[in-house]
Structure 1
Amino acid sequence: MTTTVKLPDPLEKSLRQRCAQEGRSISEVMRDALTAYLAQPAVTASAFALGEGVFGRFAGKDDLAETHKIQVLDVWEDKQGRRS
């Protein structure tokens, strides 16, 4: 089977250079790359599952969302008070 693949110029240049260095054809390198890619398990995890390892790792203020409106109002009042 023949398939056409459109590559950005820098990627094509890198591919051609690598093939020349290794003495392999573009088709051979692309077949090997696709074989390696397809051998990996498909990612079917949810966004939560993908980020589960980092959730809760970083600590900060606990009430950022709860007090945001109050903090904005305080800044606004301070700014308006200075103009008076």
Structure 2
Amino acid sequence: MAKLAPFFPKSHGKPRVDDRRVLSGIILLNRNGLRWRDAPEAYGPHKTLYSRWKRWSEKGIFARMMAGLAAEHG
């Protein structure tokens, strides 16, 4: 997760739900094919997971994360 921290957007205004926890929830849901509503409560509200996934996808954050991780390993 430390390698991914630079890719998370900066917070503006009120404190956000922890990005690492949200990312873990998004990965869990996508890997297991679950619906957003089926997200375990440990990852926060399902609406937060969905809205963060949608916003980060539109901004290309996931693509930058993957490219950054791939660049580190040649």
When normalised by structure 2's length, the TM-score is 0.29
Which has a greater percent of helix? 2
Larger Rg: 1
In the superposition, the TM-score normalised over structure 1's length comes to 0.26
